[in-house]
């Protein structure tokens, strides 16, 4: 079965569900055009789940004929937990400690080219969290080349 669901028989507009999760750890910061070690670090984990609405340009995805290009966007639920410290290198050079966790919105975007059973996909998304003073955003990006088949 295909993960894609269509709103009509013409198979142009449709939807599917996307999710992602992971851990991260960082010890370098951008300072101008350079990534430098300022003695700061951050670590955390995230999760997101998003329905993605898409438009299919080209041939039918379900019939896997010739070529198809899909573009989609979605918004859903995300969770972020992160703690550490950073230096505000672009403004005050102040050291800032943070410890945030919570659920908020997640966003997702996808572009996929399909040729018969082969596909190329570029996608990205993740949670965004506000604590009243700052916004904390995680953007999980990937590019995949693959071969698909349905059992």
Instruction: Please compute, for residue 126, the number of CA atoms within 13 A of its CA located in the half-sphere on the CB side.
Output: 18
> How long, in residues, is the chain?
151
Higher pLDDT, 109 or 118: 109
Calculate mean pLDDT across residues 52-77: 83
Task: Please give the Cα distance from 117 to 2 (Å, whole number).
Answer: 12
DSSP labels for 14-76? EEEEEEEEEEEEE--EEETTEEE--S-EEEEEEEEEEEEEEEEEES-TTTT-SEEEEEEEEEE
Provide the pLDDT for residue 87: 93
Q: What are the pLDDT digits (tens) for 6-34?
A: 888 777 899 999 999 999 999 999 888 89
Calculate mean pLDDT across residues 120-148: 91
Provide the pLDDT for residue 16: 93
Task: Please give the Cα distance from 89 to 81 (Å, whole number).
Answer: 23
Query: Which helix (H) or strand (E) element contains residue 115?
Result: strand 95-115
Provide the pLDDT for residue 131: 85
Provide the pLDDT for residue 30: 87
- In sign, the C-alpha dihedral spanning 84, 85, 89, 92 is positive
Provide the pLDDT for residue 99: 95
pLDDT confidence tier of residue 62, bands split at 50, 70 and 90: low
Calculate mean pLDDT across residues 89-104: 92
* Beta bridge pairs of residue 11: none
pTM of the predicted structure, to 2 decimals = 0.80
């Amino acid at each position: 079965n295909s993960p894609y669901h269509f709103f009509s028989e013409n198979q142009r507009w449709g939807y599917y569900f996307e999710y992602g999760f992971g851990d991260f750890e960082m010890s370098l910061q951008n300072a101008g055009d350079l990534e430098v070690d300022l003695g700061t670090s951050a670590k955390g984990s995230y999760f997101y789940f998003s329905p993605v609405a898409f438009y299919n340009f080209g041939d039918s995805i379900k019939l896997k004929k010739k070529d198809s290009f899909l573009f989609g966007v979605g918004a859903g639920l995300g969770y972020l937990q992160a703690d550490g410290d950073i230096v505000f290198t672009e403004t005050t050079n102040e050291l800032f400690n943070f410890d945030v966790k919570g659920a908020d919105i997640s966003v997702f975007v996808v572009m996929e080219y399909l040729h018969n059973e082969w596909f190329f996909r570029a996608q990205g998304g993740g949670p965004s969290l506000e604590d009243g003073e700052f916004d904390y955003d995680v953007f999980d990006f990937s590019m995949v080349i693959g071969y698909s088949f349905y059992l």
